[in-house]
Structure 1
């Protein structure tokens, strides 16, 4: 890269070399842990292994983190820090999610860190000797956050002003890391966009995985498959995944918002989340949406009146009731539950897209300033102000004093105040324990 120069930062983790274009400096794929085996817990990197790290090239296959900062940032600049955890159903994704690129943040004087973590069975299968509520993928993120605490100051960041941001599975991970049994003070606030939790625990699904594998679900058994027959393990996972239907196959389950630490949380969802999922689109296109909602609502988590839920779904969009059930079941119900139960200050926002559906993931480039048309608008300003320690300029959400929310239009950048935007999912989906 002839138009970029190398930049080396010396920190507790060693000497790390990235690349700068004179305005923005990037450090790619920095190792933050040692993983002794695919199904073993990660460990901190021993001091005697800390040396010169070449962070000039993105290596998506690694469990690592990346940093994007202003080129003029230096130790004691005390810039706010965003730590981003990517989504991907706990099945895919890396620490290089371009939809959340940190360049616009760097131009605003904000440092962005992307943390990668183990996905699929390596990150989220559980074994008999695992501690309660422990997942290797989540623990990977925990070690990444610790790395940030120990090293980000050398890159110009303020370790006491870290905002944890996650979308979809990444939002789930962020909320799990905010549980009191996990929280270690590594971040000060959370932006959780469209979190998603499985409806059942891994323990309840262990039998279907055992049938797919044809082997016991043990650390030793899965390790042998991963090292000797990875294609066999992948096919078995695909069979296991198919059994779960429209639900998340893996991930933390049994969410209880009252177990969260007392932290400021901004919770968001898109109004139409998974309208684009092919199976839902096909069902609705054939006019079978109402029938399938009646058949599948209980299985997908509806505990209130199915008739009332369907009536509300049809009132919002008479042509897409199945698409709405998929999104409400996968994401919006968890936003509602977290908002009602979290002990700290909570703000709720819902993304719409004017006359078209607002789909899952569409808000990411808007929030991170990657859409040129939205770089100076209200949505981007909300994010930047929140990261700098400000609070949204609408009333907090509270189950007792008012379920206040705001509507953010990603098509026009408009902002509208609202109340109880998640009423239909709150009444339909009771909290899952």
Structure 2
């Protein structure tokens, strides 16, 4: 960054110094909370600070900002807040696939919020409030920081679009719950959300077993300080025990509990289709047998034979790969689409030259490595400006229409009920 110049913004949080390349002002790793301990609730920062935001520090729980270089305070530019994915286990506030340069060049401010992952963010203790997770509460504090400070960077705090992908989409939906929503964003985009099938409370026994000690806040805090490598190994074993699912994360999703606001939901058609375990099973011809054996454990409640038939009709060689993606992501997209009280638009991403995999939509959505506007890119730009999508809402009585966008060709179509096979498999007695 030798050709970059320093730029300082004064806001209620203090003096934040970042760098500018003449088009975009970048502010890296800005602290937004105080965390007293790895398993303690974060606290709001109450004093202004002098912050060197010229360097990205991935190990910190912080946020990053990308703004147009010519943006001035009170310019009322749209704001996109991005929450990264990573199975509730990894990821930071510096996801390059969603870097905010292209947004800034189109007059949109982008904020990436980092949060605690693994046990620090999502283990639960006996004195935690119901449905409370430290990782999600971190994001809540980050959003509140945006509300207090983004005007100084040129953003409009009343025009914030929350965008999350995978685990980040789950966090976004959780923050939309009426018991969590605090008015910090006006609309949301949830890309391939994922929820664990079992609650943390049901998995405490396996975690206690691999830790070999009481599952208390004090015990884990001591372990993190004295023997962090032991804690890391224990978590790795815990994760392997629950390898067919996310090991951690919020559970008990009910779309009817969400606030009434515009929501754009999406999935990729093939999601975790190429996950190594599924790929090996399918390559050996064991896919159909594996689906029959594992479908119930992975959440299928309808006819396994019907699901397998539908999966093989799409790709006869990859039924296990399809089950992994449907169980991890697409079932939740289907449920959210039918349950949320506000207006919802559905998108399915496909590919013309192979499977449309998990995460494939992130860079096109944020305009990274794109030389010209694409239908995927236009989704974010239009929605962030508050424009209503130009295809029908996803509703049962109108046939659950969704937009299909090909990530490779740019082709756009209108599809009828693309998640039907998923809904019939995972919720056979629910929504018709």
TM-score tier after normalising by the smaller chain length: over 0.9
Query: Which secondary structure state, in structure 2, belongs to the residue aligned with residue 400 of structure 1?
Result: helix
Please give the alpha-carbon distance, in whole angstroms, between the structure 2 residues aligned to 1:262 and 1:399.
17
Distance 1:190 1:432, change over 3 A: farther
Please give the alpha-carbon distance, in whole angstroms, between the structure 1 residues aligned to 2:359 and 2:395.
26
Please give the alpha-carbon distance, in whole angstroms, between the structure 1 residues aligned to 2:427 and 2:228.
39
Q: Counterpart of 2:253?
A: 255
Distance 1:56 1:426, change over 3 A: same
Indicate conservation of the 8 Å contact 2:301/2:428, yes or no. no
Q: Of the candidates 426, 429, 432, which is equivalent to residue 426 of structure 2?
A: 429
Q: Counterpart of 1:311?
A: 309
Q: Counterpart of 2:96?
A: 98
Please give the alpha-carbon distance, in whole angstroms, between the structure 2 residues aligned to 1:31 and 1:53.
8
Indicate conservation of the 8 Å contact 1:309/1:428, yes or no. yes
Structure 1, unmatched stretches of 5+, are: none
TM-score (norm. length: structure 2): 0.98
How far off its partner does 1:2 sit? Answer: 2.9
Asked if 1:405 corresponds to 2:402, the answer is yes
C-alpha root-mean-square deviation of aligned residues, in Å? 1.2
Please give the alpha-carbon distance, in whole angstroms, between the structure 1 residues aligned to 2:428 and 2:208.
28
Q: Counterpart of 2:45?
A: 45
Q: Counterpart of 2:105?
A: 107
* Residue deviations 1:294-337 (CA, integer Å, cap 9, x gap): 00000000000001000000001101000000000000000000
1:150-229 correspondence to structure 2 within 5 Å: 150-229=148-227
Please give the alpha-carbon distance, in whole angstroms, between the structure 1 residues aligned to 2:322 and 2:104.
36
Query: Which secondary structure state, in structure 2, belongs to the residue aligned with residue 372 of structure 1?
Result: coil
Q: Counterpart of 2:63?
A: 65
TM-score (norm. length: structure 1): 0.98
Q: Counterpart of 1:321?
A: 319
* Residue deviations 1:67-112 (CA, integer Å, cap 9, x gap): 0000000111100000000000000000000000100000100000
Indicate conservation of the 8 Å contact 1:337/1:431, yes or no. no
How far off its partner does 1:372 sit? Answer: 2.1
1:13-92 correspondence to structure 2 within 5 Å: 13-47=13-47, 50-92=48-90
Structure 2, unmatched stretches of 5+, are: none
* Residue deviations 1:19-43 (CA, integer Å, cap 9, x gap): 0011110000000000000000000
Distance 1:170 1:432, change over 3 A: farther
Indicate conservation of the 8 Å contact 1:262/1:342, yes or no. yes
How far off its partner does 1:431 sit? Answer: 9.0
Q: Counterpart of 1:365?
A: 363
Asked if 1:419 corresponds to 2:389, the answer is no
1:224-239 correspondence to structure 2 within 5 Å: 224-239=222-237
